[in-house]
Structure 1
Amino acid sequence: MSISTSGNTAIMTEDCLACKYQRRRCPAYCPFAPYFPHGHEQQLKNMHKLFGSGMVNVIKLVRTIEDPSKKDIAIRTIMVQSDMRAKDPVGGCYRIIQELQHQIECTQAELDQIYYTIAICRAQNAHRLQMQKTDDGDHCQMMNKLPLVGFETEKLANLSI
C-alpha cells in the first residue's frame, strides 16, 4: 500500500503487482502499474519466468525505449510472448506465427484459384459474345443471299429499264 498526499487529503493506493513482487514501493510514475493491476498475477509470473531477474531485465529493456507509445507496445508484446511461452513452452509465439503464415499461404492459394476461375469465366463470356456477334452478322448476310420468297423473278426479267 502506498500513501500519497494531495493537499489535506491522503489517498491510499495499492501497489501494482510488479512492485509488490519486487517488494518495492510503487511510485506514482510506475511503468508497470497500468499493465499489472491486481488480478493479473499469472501474467506477472509468466513474464518473470521468461525474462527472469525479478523484472530487472524488463525494466532495462523498457528504459532503452524513448517513445511512450513504443514503450506501451513493448510491454504488451513482452506480456503476450510470456503468456504464449507459458502455454506452449516449446513453440511459444513462433508456433502461432508459423500457423498464421500457413493459413495466409492457403488462403492466398485459394484466392489465386478464384481469380483464375474468374478469368476463365470472363474469357468464356467474351468468346460467347463474340460468337453471338459473328452469328448475328452471318445471319444478316445469309438473309441477303436468300431468294425473295413470293416474288416472281420472271416478271423482273421481263421488265426493261
Structure 2
Amino acid sequence: MTENMTSTSSPCAACKLLRRRCAKGCVFAPYFPADQPLKFASVHKVFGASNVNKLLQELPEHQRGDAVSSMVYEANARVRDPVYGCVGAISSLQQKVAELQAQLAIAQAEIVCLRMYQGSDLITFNTKMTSFSPPVAPSSPSR
C-alpha cells in the first residue's frame, strides 16, 4: 500500500484506470470513486485524462461536481452517438416535446368541441322544456 492510503481504501477509478498511485490530494478522487469505474472510463475515452485534470484544477472546488456531471453526461452521450452526442439527445427530446404539444392541442380542441356540443344540447333541451306545454287533461263532465 502507498503511504497515504490505509489498508481499507483503494485508488479512485481514475488512478486505477491510469495505473498510477492515488495521492492524498488527487483531483479525481472526490468525483470518480473506485466503485464507479465506468464513469471515468467514458470521460477519459472522450475527453482524455489530462484535459479533465486541467479543467478540474482550473475550476473552483464548488463548481467541479457540476463540471464532472456534465462531462459524464456528454461522454456517455458521445459513446452512444459518436456523431451528435448530447445534441442528438436534445434534438430527439425537442421533437418529442413538439409531438406531445401537438397531441395536447388536439385533445384541448376536442374538449372545447365536446363542451360546445353538450352546451348546445342543454340549450336545445331547455328550449324544448320551456316551450313544452303539458297536455291538458280532459275535463270531466260536470254533473
Change (3 A) 1:148 1:36: closer
Residue-pair matches, total: 140
Match of 1:3 in 2: 3
Q: For the residues of structure 2 that align with 1:71 and 1:95, how far apart are their CA atoms?
A: 25
State the TM-score, normalized to the length of structure 1: 0.69
The equivalent of 1:106 in structure 2 is: 99
Determine the C-alpha separation between the residues in 2 that align with 1:104 and 1:90.
22
- Do residues 97 (structure 1) and 90 (structure 2) align? yes
- SS at structure 2 position matched to 1:2: coil
Q: Higher mean Cα deviation, 27-36 or 77-86?
A: 27-36
Q: Pick 1 or 2: higher relative contact order, CA cutoff 8 A, min separation 6.
A: 2
8 Å Cα contact 2:42/2:79 also seen in 1: yes
Flag the structure with higher strand content: 1
Identity rate of aligned residues, in percent? Answer: 26
- Structure 1 unmatched ranges of 5 or more: 6-10, 156-161
Query: What is the match of residue 32 of structure 2?
Result: 35
Structure-2 residue corresponding to 1:150: 139
Distance 1:31 1:118 in 2: 57
Q: Distance in 1 between the 2:57 and 2:124 partners?
A: 72
How far does residue 77 in structure 1 lie from its aligned partner after superposition?
Answer: 1.8
